[in-house]
Structure formats: C-alpha cells, structure tokens
Structure 1
C-alpha cells in the first residue's frame, strides 16, 4: 500500500486551490479539459458572442473614435437612451457604421454632426438595415455634405444616392445613411487610394491631372502644374501647397456618366485607352465609353455600372 505524507497531502490541496482560483479568473472555458469538444449550443453561443464583439463598438468606443475624427453629435432631448424618442444613442452601433461616417468625414472634409444613430424610436424597427440594429446614422444637412454626396455617388431615386454598399437618403432636415457592407462606399479592395503627386513627378497620372486642370498635358509636374494646382486648391478652400493629394483629387476628378461632355471625359477616355479600350478621345460620354468603363470595372472588381466615380478614377490612376 502506498502512503501519503501529511506534507504531500497539504501540497496537493494547495495545488488544487491554485488551479481552482485560476479557473475562476480565466473563465470556465479555460478550466474545461483541453480535449473536450464544445456542444452545438455552446459553439453557437461562442460564435455569436465573437461576432457581436467584432461587429459593434461600445458607446464609449464609438464616441472616442468619432471625437478623434472631429465628428460631433447632438440630440433634441440631450440623452442617450436607445429606447427613448429624442435621444441619440450609440448602443449597439456597428463598427462599419462608425468607420463609414469617419470615412465620409475624411473624404469630404465636411463638418459632420450626427443627429440620430442606433436608437429605436422614432425610427423604423422592422427590416435588416435599421437604426436599432446599428446600420444607420442621421447627419445634419449642410452645404458641404449636400454637394459632396451627389457628386461622389450615383442617383438611384428621387432623393437617394448609392456608393457601393452605402445608401444616402436626403430627408427634410438630415441625411439618412445606411451602411450595409464594409462602410467604405465601394466594393473594391480597401488598399486602393488616390496617388499623391508633387513637383518633379512624371507619368500618366500627371497627364490626367493636367487634362482635368485644362493645362498643357505633357506628363511632367513642373512649375505650371504646381501653379494650376494651387489655384484650384484656393478655389476649393483646400491647403494651397501645390501637392495633388487625395483631398484635391476628390474635387478635381468628377463623377462622369452617359451624356457627360468636356475635358474631364477626354481625360477619362485617355486613361481607358491606356488600359486597352478602343475608343475615341472625343470628350463625349457615349455608349462606347460607358461600355469601356463597365469592362474596366468588371476587370478590377468594381460595381460595373458604367459610371466613372471615385473608385473607378482611383483604380484607373493606380493600375499599371
């Protein structure tokens, strides 16, 4: 018979106590045997919990990110109760919604004031993409946003525009914005961006910029191009540094569609020809140009609507 010394017994009890304490601290899941497989119900619960954490921000997290981006919010009754009319609540707001509003702020450089978020009344409660489920925000109307949205999204209704998975509905005193997907307003990879050009740059993107600026297009970013960029920047209340970055591109490259005419269409046609399109550079956005745009969009995994908006311009300027 094997005997156990008093010291060994005390040590065993102490070790068991430490293990129990660790299980309490780390959670019951950590205390379970490593070989135990989760049941269907517990696996589903874990998946749901993980998805919930990854899909939404806490109110504190949402407000911190919005505040850091220079976005403010208000409510008519100065409250944050999700279930009370007149409040503005971030309880249960989706990460993509918050990140989408921040992207709008950065792209437009417009003041953004949120007047409605994830609260339930007085908003619609049925359906998938609702305020209460965290997919929508309301932002106050202002001249800057009122110009930016129609310019950078396609019109799909009398007062509705869309850009990728984002929909913008203009109501009497606010924009109702729905973020159905990534929140980026585009189906293209997130890494795509506008090129930054400055004095000394050369290439096809410089040629496009010069065509859009209506100056001699020689593909060289010289003093004349710097002056033209500064003039454009001052006109549009941008930092007049002569550097053509994302904020300047967003105002310089217009959204073009069937029926558009002018130098911007010629710049678009020049880029499309560079990518193999057999079209004329006549400055008229006809069926041939629309077809070339759709072909380019399909090739680069963009929404193939035949409209040359920001996502299409970015890809044209970035693609080799």
Structure 2
C-alpha cells in the first residue's frame, strides 16, 4: 500500500511556493516603480530649468570659471559649503556670459546652498537664482560700467541685479533666459583699420572727426589720441575698453555731438527724430521704444547696454 503524505505537509510546501512567487513578482514591480521614479526625477538637461551639479561644474569649468568654499564641501544644507544642487540653468549660463564678455577671472564663492543665505522670497540662493562672485579689480570695474546703478551698492541690467557686498558680488538672475538682458548679452564691436559701416560712423561722430564710415589712418590716429588721453593701450583699435570711455551714458537734458551720434543710430533703427543734438522728449521716447523692442530696461537712458545694442543690431 502506497503511503500518503499528510495534508499539512502538502499545504506547507504549496504555501512556500506561492510566497516565493509573490516575492519575485512584487520585487520586479518594485524595481519597475523605482526605475520610473528615477526617470521622472532626473529630466534631461534640455527639458529641465536646472542643471545637475555635474552639468553645472562642466559648464563653468569649460568657461574657465572656478569655485571655492570655506568648508571645502558641497552640501546644500550645510553652512560654509558651495553647492550646485538645484542651480538654475539661466544662473549658470548668466555667469558664463559674464565671464566671456568681461574676460575677468570669475571665482564663485556661493551658489545654491541655503545657509547662511536668506530663504524668504522667490529669487534666493537656495532656489538656484543667485551666485556670489569674489571681488577683484576687473569685475569691480566691469559691472558698474555695463549696468545701471539703482542703489548705493546695487546695479541692474535687464532682469539681472548686482549687489556689491564686503567681499563678493551677490548676483541675482531673475530672467527666464528668453531675451533677458545681462551686461554680457552683446559685446561691443571691435573696429580697426579697414573696418566700415554704421558703427565706424558713430565712433567718428563721438571722436568729433569727419564721419565717412571708413576706418582709415585718420580714424586710427584719433583713436590713439583718445586712448592715450584716457590711459588706455594706444593701439588704434577700438575695442570694448575704448568704447566704454567713448560712448557716454546719456539722458534727458544732455546735448552735443554724442547726442547727435545717438540720434543718428536711433534713426537708423526707424525713429523719426531730428539729429539736433538735444536729448529732449522725442529722443527719450525713441530710446524707450528701442529698449522695449530689445528686452532692455525701458528707462529712456542710453547706457552701455543700449549703446551696444544700437551698434550691433542691424
């Protein structure tokens, strides 16, 4: 007579088999869910408003920008660290643009970490909108020359604000990146012997010499004289440093040849104003219209950012 296994033994083996199968199924489901969460939490750089820390570092390093922290750490929630966790793409891209236009050494001393920065408000370090940049003579000179002063130690250019503190520049990038202006959004045109065009004409008007739109020996000599007068390298090449001295900030009430040069540029861009050398209501209105069309602060004042757009926009 063949023996029969007790019912309890058969039930135990069946239960173990079912439990094992369930574990395998549930484990696979858990792995699938985890993978889904990982994919969702890490969007591609093209679709995200943020860079990963690795992406931010690569972008900054490629531009020759360095960073440091007193604590030699990168923890977003630890005081003394410099963290790129949650840094916005437009913030990183803005710093890179500043570096390229100014050619200054840029050292980041604060980024998206929370302490010791303020947490209240929209445009904070912790939310990725701000960076701290160490002071140095080049940066200290460049920002005030290319932005509009709005406070005792604050400058602005479009949607970017620069606050000079005791040992660093606190830079706030509020724009979305789609047309917001930074001091670096347009470079001054570099003119030299052989150059031609409207920018040469404007330079000649500002130099108060014959304006024929041709950069010949007479223009090169006038540039050298101007450069020597302002203690610049007298090479006869009209580059950013010379433009910054040559193109003055103009506002309502100004008059003279520089205003005529401005009015001629505005007319080239469609403004119906006289080139009478007087910065009155008509010129102010024309400047504001031009600024609005180029996503600049429409304050009616012709500063470096407006000059650069006038000279480089067709």
Instruction: Provide TM-score, normalisation by structure 2.
Output: 0.73
How do 1:278-293 residues align onto structure 2 when only pairs under 5 Å count? 278-282=273-277, 284-293=278-287
Partner of 2:265: 271
Which of the numbers 168, 171, 179 marks the counterpart of 1:174? 168
| TM superposition shift of 1:136 | 0.2
- Alpha-carbon shift at residue 259 of structure 1 (Å): 4.6
* 1:263 shift after superposition: 4.1
Question: Counterpart of 2:115?
Answer: 121
Q: Write the distance in 1 (CA, Å) between the matches of 2:74 and 2:232.
A: 35
Distance 1:28 1:255 in 2: 61
Equivalent-residue separation in structure 2 for 1:191 and 1:129 (angstroms):
21
For 1:1-320, list aligned pairs within 5 A: 46=40, 49=43, 54-182=48-176, 186-187=180-181, 194-229=188-223, 242-244=236-238, 249=243, 252-260=246-254, 263-274=257-268, 275-282=270-277, 284-320=278-314
Q: Residues 184 and 85 of structure 1: is their aligned pair in 2 closer, same or farther, counting only changes over 3 Å?
A: farther
Q: CA deviation at 1:296?
A: 2.5
The answer for unaligned runs of 5 or more in structure 2 is 1-27
Q: Which protein is bigger by CA-based radius of gyration? A: 2
- Partner Cα separation in structure 2 for residue 236 and residue 82 of structure 1: 45
Taking a change above 3 Å as real, the CA distance of residues 319 and 95 of structure 1, as seen in their structure-2 partners, is closer
Structure 1 unaligned blocks of 5 or more:
1-23, 33-41
For residue 9 of structure 1, what is the aligned residue in structure 2? none
1:17 alignment counterpart: none
Q: CA deviation at 1:174?
A: 1.6
Over 3 Å counting, the alpha-carbon distance change for 1:61 and 1:258 in structure 2 is same
Cα RMSD (Å): 3.6
Count of aligned residue pairs for this structure pair: 280
Q: Is 1:258–1:290's contact at 8 Å kept on the other side of the alignment?
A: yes
